[in-house]
Structure 1
Amino acid sequence: MTFEPSDIVPDSERRGLIGALPASLRPYASLMRLDRPIGAWLLYWPGAWAVALAGLGPRGMTLLLWLGLGAWAMRSAGCVWNDIVDRDLDRQVERTRLRPLASGRVTLRGAWALLAALCLIGLIVLLQLPPLAELVALASLAPVAAYPFMKRITWWPQTWLGLVFSWAALVGWPAVRGEIGATVLLLYAGAIAWVIGYDTIYALQDREDDALVGVRSSALALGSRARAGIAGFYAVALCFWAAALWRVRPDGLVLIALLPMALHLGSQVLRLKADDADDALARFRSNRFAGLLMFLACLVVGTTS
């Protein structure tokens, strides 16, 4: 596929945060999805939940800030890595054909240099963590690197994304408590189910293009049962989270604290228009607020136990 010069630069680089940057930097900012912070928020929340549920500890607020920087850097690095791996596929999909690597606005060498710089920021964050949390964070690199290939070999790449995007929970808890136990594993399992649910919503946007180019997704696997599948994953997530919170404080406060999150996820499912790409994107993005609701639940339970 070839591009006319006037077609190569997407509208998103002509306005907003990216549009305010020098022209030479805009393709790199797009490569990092600098104008789409939703991914960084979704990567951040499980770690913040774990720190809050663990009771914050003496470094709680500092940890939350470091985890926020780490989530931004590693999500940005993940986007660059994903585009390096998928640059040929991206040229064949309407929604992604103007991405900087796919359109040739960023060279492969430039993408690798940006990836190295972002990983350096991640290393700085890593060095702020206690030893066990450092080891757990380092262990995430292998599944992160493997993720872009999952859509080529399984109908459920969203499950692998769940493993990756929920990993911060396994970092946040030992950063406060110094150990990994059943409570954080339950929190992590719930986060995985949540990710599968919301990323299935996201994948609804690309069902036709994915089918044409041979990319697999849970949205394609579920077909007409997508809404029921998403509801099921959200229900599983709530069950795991209730169990995690109950282990910290075994009383009815747990269910009350989780109620806003349950209502929000239920609203997503009920209002979802599976054949409307704009609506699917809006429902997906609303999970940033869902993450905040879950954080407040963990904070209430963790700091009053």
Structure 2
Amino acid sequence: MSSDHPTTVPDTEYRGLIGLLPVRVRPYALLARLDRPIGWWLLFWPCSWGVALAGGALSHWTLLLWFLLGAVAMRGAGCVYNDIVDRDLDKKVERTRTRPLASGEISLKAAWVWLLLLCGIGLLVWLQLNLTAKLVSLASLALVAGYPFMKRITWWPQAWLGMVFSWGALVGWLAIDAAFSLPMLLIYGGSIAWVIGFDTIYALQDREDDALVGIRSSALRLGDNLRFGVLGFYLVALAGWAGAFWMLRPQGLALVALLPVALHLLWQVSTLNSEDGEDALRKFRSNRFAGLLMFLACFVLGQAG
């Protein structure tokens, strides 16, 4: 595999540590999307929100590190599983045809072995949780298994992805406080809407190819109303988070903590160029920063409580 091969994928960050790996190892790193850290950041942030809002960011700081490791491993496992299911579709889409499994660089058997190894790391993280968090985290496996098929049967696979990527908010909260609560559910619901919004932006890159091969997405479904649709989902996210904050601390200052992330999300929508795939990618990636801003808001409120 030549060193410039992954640059055909616009959202890769191939240079750096991945480029230093032995040539035979690189396809496995690419299959798990280790060249695209944005994915595991977006999976990690909801976990961190749950921990921080439940008041455990300082007292259980090592748990945040475990969740970060789990996010890297399980996001990688999810990508490997997705590529196993989608290997034939990936060959038909310009942005995905060079993926290691679709291009034949990695065999199907090797992909399954790599998937099991990544799941083994996830198991190690799972063992660090209390019983309630363990049981709830296991329930997410059905959602993960079903996700690759959603783009074939619904225009809203982003909603399913939202449930998957946001599940960590429940697990993170329950790892600190094993009691179910409405604020926990509001954080989860808001995170789902946030994921739908940013993944709709991400799907702008593939609209033409998706339409040709019959893949469905919210970007195609919203059409000319995409900007308003994304804005709507972001507002739902902010409303859910504001509701959770208010229930935990019914003061105006609690809502002020959400102002930075609210302004960032509104900036995304107001400056989005839906006809420019590179701009869509930049806006999608900026949600790494949005997740950080939300974590800081949860941290402040969690420690104040």
Q: Secondary structure at the match of 1:24?
A: coil
Code of the aligned partner of 2:177: R
Residue aligning to 2:120: 120
Question: 1: distance between equivalents of 2:38 and 2:253?
Answer: 29
Q: Distance between the aligned counterparts of 1:119 and 1:60, measured in 2?
A: 24
Q: Give, in whole Å, the separation in 1 of the partners of 2:136 and 2:253.
A: 31
State whether residues 13 and 26 of structure 1, in contact with CA within 8 Å, keep that contact through their aligned partners in structure 2.
no
- Work out the CA distance in 2 between the residues paired with 1:153 and 1:215: 9
Query: 1:227 matched to which residue of 2?
Result: 227
Q: 1:20 offset after TM fit, Å?
A: 0.8
- Structure 1 residues not aligned, in runs of 5+: none
Q: Deviations over 1:118-175 (max 9, x none)?
A: 0000000000000000001111111001000000000000000000000001101111
Cα distance in 2 between the residues matched to 1:40 and 1:84: 19
Query: 1:1-305 residue pairs with structure 2 within 5 A?
Result: 9-11=5-7, 15-56=15-56, 59-305=59-305
User: CA offsets, 1:212-243, max 9 Å, x none?
Assistant: 00000000000000000000000000000000
Q: Indicate if the aligned counterparts of 2:14 and 2:35 stay in contact, CA closer than 8 A.
A: no
Letter in 2 for 1:16: G
Question: Residue 255 of structure 1: CA displacement?
Answer: 1.6
Paired amino acid for 1:300: V
Question: Match of 1:262, as an amino acid?
Answer: A
TM-score when normalising by structure 1 = 0.96
Judging changes above 3 Å, is the alpha-carbon distance between structure 1 residues 6 and 40 closer, same or farther for their aligned structure 2 residues?
closer
- For 1:14 and 1:83, the matched residues in 2 are separated by 19
- Give the TM-score normalised by the residue count of structure 2: 0.96
1:17 CA displacement: 2.2
Distance 1:8 1:82, change over 3 A: farther
| Offset of residue 37 of structure 1 | 0.5
CA contact (8 A) 2:84 2:101 kept: yes
User: CA 1:14–1:253 in structure 2 vs 1: closer, same or farther (change >3 Å)?
Assistant: closer
CA RMSD of aligned residues (A): 1.6
Task: Report the Cα distance in structure 1 between the residues aligned to 2:63 and 2:85, rounded to whole angstroms.
Answer: 32
In structure 2, distance between residues paired with 1:183 and 1:239 = 12
Count how many residue pairs are aligned between Structure 1 and Structure 2.
Answer: 301
Is the 2:273–2:279 Cα contact (8 Å) retained in structure 1? yes
Question: CA contact under 8 A between 2:55 and 2:303: conserved in structure 1?
Answer: yes
Task: Extract unaligned runs of 5+ from structure 2.
Answer: none
Deviation digits for residues 254-302 of structure 1 (CA, Å, limit 9, x no counterpart): 2210000100000000110001000000000000000000000011111
How far the C-alpha of 1:21 sits from its partner, in A, is 0.6
